[in-house]
Amino acid sequence: MSIVAAAAAFSGPQQAHEDAAALLARVHVPPGSQQYSGAGGPSAPPYHPDTPNLADVSRAWIVSGSRDDVLGWIAAHRPAGSTLTARGTGSSIGLAFEGFQWPVTSAEIDRLVLVEAVQRSDGPTALRADGLSAWVVRRSAAERIPPRARVLRATVTLQDRPVRPPLVVRDHRRIRRVASLLDSLPLFQPGVAACPNDPGYRVSLAFRRTARGAISALAIANPGGCADVQFELHGRHEPALVATSGFFPALYRVLGITPIPRGPAPRAP
């Protein structure tokens, strides 16, 4: 299974572009390197994060020496604050690359520099470096559980079939604690993510103002797979959320229910 998160409104590309340029500026190239247009050398990074929210800033140089010696020099002069996380060859004949990564921030994720090198037929090495940074799409303040919800119905299902009787909560403090847990979740960021090991459990949380009233907010949380939370507000689909590591343990404590098994679902009789 996979989940696709839609790109949200314009948010943060300029900051990500500046971050990508700042990461690129930390790359040290061998003495005597000459910056050039890039013609006849690597034309693109060997790979990139699978997100539309990606800023890419690049530079290219002609460097004396062999391809492997040039990449070895750069690895020995690792960009400040980075970790060498990738090394290999690309699909183009003669291309080799190294990847350096930085920790994420509250505003950017997938922060890295990819350095690619090709030995030119006329002797020197053509070198290219790409600073990459993806900006974080932030959740709108309007996407919150309505404060007037007075009834919460929690249902646990396996492959769309209930596995225990529904739990109805009318204690306003407990309802607000569950709402607070949901309100604190971040958006599932744009792009495509693989979702392995999804046995099919779901926890549905339906909020109402009255026991027979319309559902004002509905969250369907997935404890397996991508740990995604599908969210509806007044019947309108909102962008998917991510269940952070502490979400389900806290939710089980508030609701007073047994944690859902993390292993494979039981076989049907």
Helix (H, G, I), strand (E, B) or coil at 14: helix
Claim to verify: residue 129 and residue 40 sit in the same structural domain:
yes
**C-alpha neighbours within 13 Å on the C-beta side of residue 71:** 24
- Which residues span the domain enclosing 196? 151-255
Model confidence over 89-115: pLDDT tens digits?
A: 876 678 999 999 999 888 888 999 999
How many angstroms separate the CA atoms of 55 and 60, rounded?
17
Q: Which two tokens stand for residue 16?
A: 């990500």
**Residue 10 confidence (pLDDT):** 45
Claim to verify: residue 166 and residue 103 sit in the same structural domain:
no
Claim to verify: residue 113 and residue 212 sit in the same structural domain:
no
Residue 169 included in any domain: yes
81-114 burial, b for 16+ CB within 10 Å, e for fewer? ebeeeeeeebeeeebbbbbbbbeeeeebbbbbbb
- The band of 261, judged by pLDDT with boundaries at 50, 70 and 90, is low
**Residue 17 confidence (pLDDT):** 95
Residue 4 included in any domain: no
Overall number of domains in the chain: 2
Whether the pTM exceeds 0.75: the reply is no
Residue 238 included in any domain: yes
**Residue 233 confidence (pLDDT):** 96
How many angstroms separate the CA atoms of 109 and 131, rounded?
12
Claim to verify: residue 120 and residue 164 sit in the same structural domain:
no
How many angstroms separate the CA atoms of 57 and 112, rounded?
11
Claim to verify: residue 32 and residue 98 sit in the same structural domain:
yes
Claim to verify: residue 171 and residue 116 sit in the same structural domain:
no
pLDDT greater than 80 at residue 200: yes
CATH number for 115: 3.40.1000
Claim to verify: residue 121 and residue 176 sit in the same structural domain:
no
How many angstroms separate the CA atoms of 216 and 174, rounded?
17
Model confidence over 15-69: pLDDT tens digits?
A: 999 999 999 999 999 999 999 987 888 888 998 888 889 999 999 999 999 999 9
Claim to verify: residue 119 and residue 193 sit in the same structural domain:
no
Claim to verify: residue 122 and residue 31 sit in the same structural domain:
yes
CATH number for 157: 3.30.1490
The DSSP bridge partners found for residue 93 are none
- The band of 255, judged by pLDDT with boundaries at 50, 70 and 90, is very high
Model confidence over 145-160: pLDDT tens digits?
A: 999 999 999 999 999 8
Model confidence over 58-91: pLDDT tens digits?
A: 999 999 999 999 999 999 999 999 999 999 987 6
Query: Regarding predicted confidence, which is higher, 58 or 140?
Result: 58
Claim to verify: residue 156 and residue 231 sit in the same structural domain:
yes
**C-alpha neighbours within 13 Å on the C-beta side of residue 73:** 17
For 25-66, where are the alpha helices, taking DSSP H only?
Answer: none
Using CB atoms within 10 Å of the CB of residue 267, give its burial: 0 to 12 exposed, 13 to 18 middle, 19+ buried.
exposed
Label each residue of 138-181 as H, E or C: CCCCCCCCCCCCCEEEEEEEECCEECCCCEEECCHHHHHHHHHH
**How large is the average pLDDT for residues 196-216?**
93
